[in-house]
Structure 1
Amino acid sequence: MRFFWFILGLAALAACQRYSTLPGTATDNDWKVKPLPASPQQMDGDPEAGYAFIGGGSYIGSGVPFEMMKKRLSGTTDTVLRRGGVNANLPYPVSAFEAAKGGTLVMNGNCFTCHAGEVNGQIVPGLGNSFSDYQKSFKPMGKVIRVGVDFKYKKDEPEWEAYEDFSRYFNAMAPYIQTNQPGANPAFRLAEACMRHRDPVDLTYREAPNYDMMDYTIATDVPPLWHVKKKNALYYNGIGRGDFTKLLFQASVLGIPDSTAAREAINGFKDVLAWLQTLEPPAYPGPVDQALAAEGQVVFEKNCSKCHGTYGNEETYPNKLVSLALVKTDPMYANYAKNSGIVEWYNSSWFAQSEPKSYFAPELGYVAPPLDGIWATAPYLHNGSVPTVAALLDSKNRPDIWARSGDSRDYDHEKLGWAYTELDKAKGDWAFDTNRPGYSNEGHEFGDKLSVGERTAVIEYLKTL
């Protein structure tokens, strides 16, 4: 049952030549750090409407006929988002809505599939879901759902029409999102796989792909949504520029029929953007040594604030992109995004060619993120390869292969992150292997120069953010 909801929740997720090998590791930028410029944003939305829309809106466009699933929903209650209406009896990562085509009620995933995470036993809307698992193939499930719809509905019935777009894009993306790490999220690959079958002008379905894709699935950790209000660009490599409403609603590419439906979704995401302006991280739930935290603030502001900003009454965030040559973290994701065929497609498409415009500007680097709520956002680095802040600040003590229990209450308050066990080889449901391509735990060695006492103080300070 849980796997079924997870499959439906895929809708919440994000090369000029076909790769026969993995992408290169180019780091030869002529820059080390560069600021990311701000773009005008639509800031006239309604936060309450945005919260309702992101949890129950029709922005995915199509899905599985709701009538098919009624019996499976018996006894279900949404205790996380506390929605009303038909969604009151659906799990929080799933929404029922009227399909763009067919005019009938369908069910699909929503943004909270990936953007409601669990920590300390609590599910937090806006926190990245680090407990998702995309290691199983989704192709069999797609076939099962298709067989069920074909058996129950004829092709001239509205339920089949409402399901058709979702079916096309689900089948298109399923081969490209299977990962080899637990918790890693293939949102970029999902968007890439769906957009390769969309006409760039009107976003209608194309049978022939627009570009090729690498066979290997590269995935990332999921950043918290409360950081959006501070950012001038989205995604770990800062590729997402321009209007955020279009960048935020890209999960829609899994099921919307065309650009007409996309324009309707944009209106809803103006409200979502307004809700994100109000979103705050959860407070650290344990005691804090305030004297030690004050010492840590001094160390942090001297050594870390230039890239990660300052916090308190007068907050600052510099929006800096740090080159691969300087940060030295795993380069595959940045290299892959820079060479993907989705970049040229996106910049020639409805997204970039109609108002309000968004565009892709890939760089060989990663954004130094804000650190609000950092205690809740383990694991760390863009690929989720480091389980705790203590290991992030001391690169020599990062585990090569580590496993967590899968219980969000299994938290290390001293090291600030997931309690973990070091392993000789990856085994078990939640084992993370940093030796696999794209998931190295190297780089970000800036904390190595600090003393043990300074790192301890910084960790205590970070609990207050």
Structure 2
Amino acid sequence: MRYCFIFLSLLLFVACNAYRPLTEVAVPDNTWKTRQLPASPQDTTGDVVAGFDFLVHGDYIGSGVPLEIMQQAAPKMPQDRPFPRNELNEGIPYFMTAFTAPNGAKVANGNCFTCHAGRVDNELILGLGDSFSDYESSMVFMGTMMRFGMGVKYSKKKDLQPAAFTDFSNYFRRMAPKIKTTQPGSNPAFRLAEACMMHRDPDDLTYVDDPLYDMWGYNIATDTPPLWHVKKKNTLYYNGIGRGSMPKLLLQASVLGTPDSSHSRKSVEAFRDVYAWLRSLEAPPYPKTIDRQLAQAGEPLFNEHCSGCHGTYGPEGDTYPNKVVNLNVIKTDRLYADYINQSGIVDWYNSSWFATSAPRSRFEPTAGYVAPPLDGIWASAPYFHNGSVPTVYQVLNSKTRPDRWTRTGESKDYNWKRLGWNYDPTPKNKKWTFDTSVPGYGNEGHYFGDKLSEDARWAVIEYLKTL
């Protein structure tokens, strides 16, 4: 099919210019080391079953490519079937959703599992961030060909498909030049939202041609966090900027194609159910043998050195403090936090439909990074907000972190001892080479594990397998 190339490439979404330094964001009070991020009132009455169904079958993106095109391409796509599909989605990959657009056209677009379903040892884990996504190639040409193909195939004015495609096309065109990354596995989700929101009227979310704020020319992407942590978090995103209504914050993915706020108002009600499903999601258990005696020795070490920021875990219940750690304390690469704090998206968001209508959400930047929960940490390599460290062992031993490292790109190539990806420290495979000298992707910081003895370090790692 002459359109297959265009739309197969599109699956990489649904999901750089010259570098110049940002001004470091001053920490308001240099005496603070960590701060607890307070909880916001949340509606927890959603329906778990309805939430999952809307996540995989809902129309929250609002527009997309014609379903018939997706059905033609589907046989060439991964055919994993981790959950049942409804009749309209029969044969559509798990990371895509077919739905009826507001004008009645049948379309398809990505769903949340495009980014939040990953593999370890060839096993697909729903809710795990996909660390094998690749946005290093520009999508500009793909977007141009996509629009050209639509014009050729659906030239008749009576066709419903072009109108249903318009919103997605508008935002894809604006987004495509902004999300090309410099590191394999990195996800440009924040940049995608930033590029789409700058062309939306903040009051009703309709498309505007002229950008409403400026974007920095350099793209900084991140590792994709696991979804099972959402239930423990008072805020969203690596620096805790996302505050208020979780359904509203989670709905931000819809900015790629939703037509306006009237459509989003319907979706946010359904996302109350999506939030309920996320609250029910559990971390996958470690699938290999655990040295219980060593893990038992590691538990008090973890509780002494790590639990103050990352929480406690046990049969009597978990605790999680929701602490943001000062950039001058954590010392991990600060460029991402500084970038978000200076982005025009903050003022746009706080004057937009997301913040001014109930349930309200808002952006409140911090000069730090949030210490994440650690349940399921065994599966979520690579580590740090930018994915710069391949294994847990190297998180706890900074002297062993490689400056450049190459993965094979195969999920089976996993290091069950060090908890993370096997890699070649003398890179040969350029495609999956991570370079920590690139701005925004440094592997420095989080030196707290360096104080542990080697035996203590291995005991802590064995304990982490039990979480």
Q: Structure 2 vs 1, CA of residues 29 and 412 (structure 1 numbering), >3 Å: closer, same or farther? A: farther
Distance 1:57 1:281 in 2: 24
CA-to-partner distance for each residue in 1:110-152, whole Å, 9 max, x for gaps? 1100000111211111000100000000011111111111111
CA distance in 1, matches of 2:228, 2:69: 36
**Whole-Å Cα distance in 1 between the matches of residues 123 and 265 of structure 2?**
35
1:29 Cα deviation (Å)? 4.2
**Which of 398, 403, 413 is 1:400 aligned to?**
403
Residue 109 of structure 1 is matched in structure 2 by 110
Equivalent position SS for 1:124: strand
- Tell me the secondary structure at the aligned position of residue 203 of structure 1: coil
Kindly indicate whether the alpha-carbon contact (under 8 Å) linking 2:57 and 2:86 is maintained by their aligned counterparts in 1: no
2: distance between equivalents of 1:4 and 1:310? 45
Alignment counterpart, residue 170 of structure 1, candidates 172, 182, 186: 172
Q: Is the 8 A contact 2:71 2:91 kept in 1?
A: no
Q: Within the alignment, does 1:57 sit opposite 2:58 as a pair? A: yes
- 2:310 alignment partner, one of 302, 308, 311: 308
Q: Secondary structure at the match of 1:272?
A: helix
For the residue of structure 1 that corresponds to 2:13, the secondary structure is helix
The one-letter code sitting in structure 2 at the alignment partner of 1:415 is: R
Paired with 1:19 and 1:144, the residues of 2 have a C-alpha distance of: 26
The answer for the alignment partner of 1:181 in structure 2 is: 183
Whole-angstrom CA distance in 2 between matches of 1:200 and 1:208: 13
1:44 correspondence with 2:45: yes
Partners of 1:428 and 1:4 in 2: CA distance:
26
1:227 corresponds in structure 2 to: 229
Return the match for 1:216 from 215, 218, 224.
218
Counterpart Cα distance in 1 of 2:236 and 2:223: 14
Kindly provide the amino acid, as one letter, of the partner of residue 152 in structure 2: F
Separation in 2 of the partners of 1:79 and 1:403? 30
Distance 2:412 2:75 in 1: 28
Supply the AA of the counterpart residue of 1:110. N
Please name the residue that 1:126 is paired with.
Answer: 127
Partner of 1:372: 375
Q: 1:189 to 1:312 in 2, by over 3 A?
A: same
3-state SS in 2 of match to 1:299: helix
Letter in 2 for 1:72: A
How far apart in 1 are the matches of 2:261 and 2:309?
38
Task: Report if the CA contact (8 A) 1:78-1:87 is conserved.
Answer: no
Report how many aligned residue pairs link the two structures. 458
1:22 is the counterpart of 2:21: yes
**AA matched with 2:115:** C
In the TM superposition, residue 421 of structure 1 has moved relative to its aligned partner by 1.1
Distance 1:34 1:430 in 2: 36
Aligned equivalent of 1:137: 138
What percent of counterpart residues are identical? 56
What root-mean-square deviation, in Å, do the aligned CA atoms of Structure 1 and Structure 2 show? 1.7
Change (3 A) 1:2 1:185: farther
Tell whether the 8 Å contact from 1:19 to 1:213 is kept in structure 2 after alignment. no
C-alpha change, 1:56 and 1:455, in structure 2 (3 Å) is: same
Moved more, 18-27 or 317-326: 18-27
Q: How does 1:11-410 map to 2 (within 5 A)?
A: 11-12=14-15, 21-26=20-25, 28-30=27-29, 31-74=32-75, 77-100=79-102, 102-154=103-155, 155=157, 157-313=159-315, 314-410=317-413
| 2:97 partner SS | strand
Paired with 1:72 and 1:36, the residues of 2 have a C-alpha distance of 45
CA distance in 2, matches of 1:159, 1:113: 23
* Counterpart-to-counterpart distance in 2, 1:241 and 1:375: 28
| Aligned partner letter, 2:388 | S
SS in 2 for 1:42: coil
Q: Deviation of residue 20 (structure 1)?
A: 7.6
**Structure 2: distance between partners of 1:248 and 1:223:** 13
Note the residue ranges of structure 1 that are not aligned, 5 or more in a row: 13-17
Q: Residue 11 of structure 1: SS of its match in structure 2?
A: coil
Residues 426 and 432 of structure 1 are in contact (CA less than 8 Å); yes or no, is this contact kept in structure 2?
A: no
Instruction: For structure 2, list consecutive stretches of 5 or more residues without a partner in the other structure.
Output: none
Deviation at residue 224 of structure 1 after TM alignment? 0.3
| CA gap 1:6/1:20 in 2 versus in 1, 3 angstroms | closer
Map Cα deviations across residues 252-279 of structure 1 (whole Å, 9 max, x no partner).
Answer: 0000010000001101111110001110
Shift of the alpha carbon at 1:422?
A: 0.4
Structure 1 residue identity aligned to 2:333: D
CA distance in 2, matches of 1:80, 1:279: 15
State the one-letter code of the partner of 1:369: P
Cα pair distance change 1:292/1:29, threshold 3 Å:
farther
Cα 1:345–1:268, aligned 2, differ >3 Å: closer, same or farther?
A: same
Q: CA separation in 2, counterparts of 1:325 and 1:99?
A: 48
- What is the CA distance between 1:4 and its match in structure 2? 4.2
Residue type at the aligned position of 1:25: E
**Quick check: 2:96–2:109 contact (8 Å CA) kept in 1?**
yes
**Residue in structure 2 matched with residue 15 of structure 1 by the alignment:** none
Q: Give TM-score, length-normalised by structure 1.
A: 0.95
